Amino acid sequence: MELLKQKIFSEGKVLSDTVLKVDTFLNHQIDPELMQHIGAEFAARYADASITKILTLESSGIAPSMMTGLRLGVPAVFARKRKSLTLVDHLYSAEVHSYTKKETNEISISKDFITTEDVVLVIDDFLANGQAALGLINLVEQAGASLAGVGIVIEKGFQSGGNLIRERDIRVDSLAIIQSLTDGKITFQEEDSSI
């Protein structure tokens, strides 16, 4: 997705060979116009998949999920990283390790929101080591729902996550795949989507 790549080039900050900071438009401050384009792109890619729910992880996946859900006319459900007073039982839960934050969280969703009748599209902001996406996939599997695929805003193609998911024959659609962050330079892969 060319607009997203331009945004990454102009506003992304390479912090190391493995860390890209995009907090000016995606995961701290949110660019609503860009999110509309991202939602439209995911909706177009999954237009024929009979999606009934979108599943993401709080908090950075919420904006692209909402815009995609708006376009597809379906609800977006977000897994919580911490239980609240109103979310304590009747849950699907999975453990997710964050390499960026160096912590493991138990993510949860209410069993009321994803059922065996659902066709789910998982959406997340980044795909690096794949732990968040695999945790969300685990929740879909626990619910007995059908998984249409995984939509990723930015994939770090040089890390293992994309391969872990694709090896399971799960469709992965990444809007921008970064090939390298070496020497502070952002290099994209030519192919932006694969199954």
Reported as a single tens digit per residue, the pLDDT across 152-181 is 999 999 999 999 999 999 999 999 999 999
Q: Does the pLDDT of residue 194 top 70, yes or no?
A: no
Q: Does the pLDDT of residue 193 top 60, yes or no?
A: no
Q: Which residue has the higher pLDDT, 59 or 118?
A: 118
SS (H, E, C) 20-69: EECCCCCCCCCCHHHHHHHHHHHHHHCCCCCCCEEEEECCCCHHHHHHHH
pLDDT band at 192 (very low <50, low <70, confident <90, very high): very low
Using N-to-C axis directions, what is the helix angle for 32-45 and 2-11, rounded to 10°? Answer: 140
pLDDT of residue 174: 97
pLDDT of residue 37: 98
Q: Does the pLDDT of residue 146 top 70, yes or no?
A: yes
Report the pLDDT averaged over residues 68-84.
91
Number of residues assigned to the chain:
195
Q: Closest by alpha carbon to 161, among 147, 146, 150, 145?
A: 150
79-90 pLDDT per residue, tens: 998 766 566 678
Report the pLDDT averaged over residues 7-11.
96
pLDDT of residue 104: 87
Where is average pLDDT lowest: 76-80, 99-103, 151-155? Answer: 99-103
pLDDT of residue 83: 65
What is the distance between the alpha carbons of residues 61 and 160, in angstroms, rounded to a whole number?
20
Q: pTM of the prediction?
A: 0.93
Number of domains in the chain: 1
Q: Does the pLDDT of residue 34 top 50, yes or no?
A: yes
The CATH number of whichever domain residue 147 belongs to comes to 3.40.50.2020
CB count, 10 Å around CB of 17? 11
Q: Which residue has the higher pLDDT, 86 or 5?
A: 5
Q: Closest by alpha carbon to 50, among 115, 119, 151?
A: 119
Give Cβ neighbours of residue 187 (< 8 Å, ≥ 6 apart).
178, 179, 180, 181
The range of the structural domain enclosing residue 72 comes to 2-194
pLDDT band at 77 (very low <50, low <70, confident <90, very high): very high
Cβ pair 121, 55 in contact under 8 A: yes
